[in-house]
Amino acid sequence: MATRIHRWYLTAEELKRSYLFQLAGKTREDDRVHSAIRGASAIVEKALGTWFYPRTLTHYYDHPEPNADILELGQWLLSVTTFTTENGNDTLAATDYFLAHTSQDPDYNKSPYRLVIMNPDGDYPYLEWSGTKRRANAIAGVWGYGDDSEDTEATVLNDPLAIGGTSLTVLTGLIETGWMLLIEDEQVFSSAVTTGDPNDTVTIVRARGGTTAAEHAATTAISRYVPPYEIELLTGILAARLFHRGTAAWADVVGTRETARQFVKAMAPEASYVLDMYLDETYFGNSGFVSWDLLDG
């Protein structure tokens, strides 16, 4: 059975502060707030064909054509751990290939990447296969559009946070519901925050993004991944609309005569701009390859 994916691109409090002003600091509608963010985040990923937190996984690719020296990835790649060809028989060195942004914008210095170009001066100027072309090439690495992070100023107050622990103790006010946290090498999703004094209790989902649960000692620093600002904006616009649909009876106006808010059926201009910007950048290619993903949930 598949594990439910936990990736929010806006926190519950940020949605309340910036889009649902009447709920700022209140918890009475948290179930609907969380549902709207989950739905909006899923829509963003589906519409743009990628995710905006790093995920460690392996993608497999059919071999393209004989003497192929280019591999279209079909997904954004941040870094490579291992790259194998010839059905896993040969492991390529980093000097055997170049990573490029896209076919339309083959910039070798612009991350993330969707294109692998073989180095004609390397040990493997062409991709190879033996036996079958199916899944002949495999890239294990870190995938996704971005891996930006920032310090939360929080530290682990558990002594320690055990491998199977689902409750994290931190100083009050430093972590919000919906953040994707990074504790050492482990991604941890903050699914709920119970406020206390002087400490908050954070309910966490462990080992996200293909990472492994580990024990974390007291005083270990906690950072969080941050999506691009425009992805937060897009998620907020969609989540607010999904939230208000619950009280609008599927109409285009919600509220009383004095406080009514009007919604148009077309996509908001700023949301359309973000979608178009990312879709214009994404190039899926037409090389005929097939990829299988080992998804971590």
pLDDT tens across 160-187, in order?
999 999 999 999 999 999 999 999 999 9
Please give the Cα distance from 93 to 162 (Å, whole number). 37
Instruction: Give the tens place of pLDDT for each residue, 181-222.
Output: 999 999 999 999 999 999 999 999 999 999 999 999 999 999
As a whole number, mean pLDDT of residues 31-36 equals 93
89 Cβ contact list (under 8 Å, min separation 6): 130
pLDDT at 17 over 60: yes
pLDDT at 285 over 70: no
Instruction: Give the tens place of pLDDT for each residue, 214-250.
Output: 999 999 999 999 999 999 999 999 999 888 876 665 5
Question: Which of residues 263 and 279 earns the better pLDDT score?
Answer: 279
Fold of 149-225: Elongation Factor Tu (Ef-tu); domain 3 (2.40.30)
**SS3 (DSSP) at 95:** helix
Nearest-5° angle of CA 25, CA 31, CA 33?
60
Structure tokens at 8: 């929010």
Instruction: Give the tens place of pLDDT for each residue, 59-88.
Output: 999 987 778 899 999 999 999 999 998 888
At residue 277, the pLDDT reads 84
Please give the Cα distance from 29 to 171 (Å, whole number). 25
For tokens 């073989």, what's the residue?
A: 118
At residue 98, the pLDDT reads 96
pLDDT at 6 over 50: yes
Structure tokens at 42: 């899923």
In the chain, what percentage of residues exceed pLDDT 70?
86
Please give the Cα distance from 150 to 6 (Å, whole number). 19
Please give the Cα distance from 77 to 54 (Å, whole number). 9
At residue 278, the pLDDT reads 86
Nearest by Cα to 285 from 51, 63, 126, 104: 104
Please give the Cα distance from 86 to 129 (Å, whole number). 4
- Is-contact 33 23, C-beta < 8 A? yes
Q: Give, in order, the Cα–Cα distances in Å from 120 to each of 21, 26, 289.
A: 58, 61, 21
At residue 26, the pLDDT reads 76
pLDDT at 284 over 50: no
At residue 226, the pLDDT reads 97
Rounded mean pLDDT of the chain?
86
Sequence ranges of the domains in the chain:
8-54+227-249+259-282, 55-143, 149-225
Instruction: Give the tens place of pLDDT for each residue, 80-133.
Output: 999 998 888 899 999 999 999 988 778 889 899 999 999 999 999 988 777 788
Burial 216-238 (b: 16+ CB within 10 A, else e): beeebebbbbbbeeebbbbbbbb
Alpha carbon of residue 270 to chain centroid: 21
At residue 290, the pLDDT reads 36
Please give the Cα distance from 229 to 234 (Å, whole number). 9
Bridge partners, 41 (sequence order) = none
Please give the Cα distance from 49 to 76 (Å, whole number). 9
Q: Where are the alpha helices (DSSP H) in the chain?
A: 12-18, 30-48, 229-245, 269-281
Please give the Cα distance from 109 to 282 (Å, whole number). 17
First CA to last CA distance, the chain: 11
- Is-contact 195 162, C-beta < 8 A? no
Please give the Cα distance from 77 to 99 (Å, whole number). 9
As a whole number, mean pLDDT of residues 148-157 equals 97
Q: Give, in order, the Cα–Cα distances in Å from 271 to each of 25, 145, 241.
A: 26, 18, 12
